[in-house]
A = this chain, B = another copy of it.
Amino acid sequence: MDIKAFLRSIPLSKGLSEDHLKKLAESARDRVYRSGQIIISEKDEIQGFFVLMRGKVKMFKRSIDGKEQILYLLRQGEMFGMCAAFSDSVFPANAMALEETVMLFLPGETIDSLAQDDPRILYNIIFDLSCMLKDSMALVESLSLKEIPQRLATFLLISCSRNESNSRDVLNLPVSQRELAKMIGTSPETLSRTLKMMSVQGIISVEGRTITTLDKDALDDLARN
């Protein structure tokens, strides 16, 4: 996909003129990362945004004893770096490619120059930051106030609602069960037990990375209670 066509399709560019889109595309630099490669580390300084063009990226923190918590799983067209690019500050987490990944780098100064002309792009950034803040607050709520089965049910419901495939009942996990455990804040063993329990109860069926919802009402109940 060419860069301008890709940029036209993402939320950052919503409402932008053809001329602005062209300038944004001209300033963009693409870069390929292999699976497992670190894109940016905690405390790195950055001068712009990274947009996920193709592949899969996790944002995470790691404790001193190696335990990992995934903060955010980036979907195609989503960005990171907004918080560092516009302050004199540093990036607050780590970002790693989970498969071969293409990122677009957009220099902060290009965004500045477009914004002087039309503030539209700043509204799009505010919208994107707001969504990430809401997701982060939901994660705090989940880790602090919910048990593992509730967290898993909530994750499945949110993922299904964002599913771009035809069916909203069949979910192809975007990551391995090992990575999923790091997202909902548990061990792979506990996740595996919870998936089995929900299968035995007839709520879902699991086949590799494919999870099918069999009883949506029961899943809703589990997420709420």
B-binding residues in A (CB < 8 A): 61-64, 67, 69, 71, 82-84, 86-87, 89, 92-93, 115-116, 119, 122-123, 125-127, 129-134, 136-141, 143-146, 185, 224-225
Contacts and interface: CB of A to CB of B under 8 A. Distances in A.
A115 B122 contact: yes
Given A86-B127, A92-B138, A63 B119 contact: no
Nearest to A90: B134
A70 to B, nearest CB: 9
A130 B69 contact: no
18 contacts: A61-B144, A63-B146, A69-B140, A69-B141, A82-B126, A86-B123, A87-B127, A87-B131, A89-B130, A115-B122, A122-B123, A126-B129, A129-B129, A129-B133, A136-B137, A140-B143, A143-B143, A143-B185
A13 B122 CA distance: 16
Contacts of A129: 83, 126, 129-130, 133
A145 B61 contact: yes
A141 B145 CA distance: 15
A59 to B, nearest CB: 8
Contacts of A116: 119
B63 A137 contact: no
Contacts of A137: 61, 71, 92-93, 136
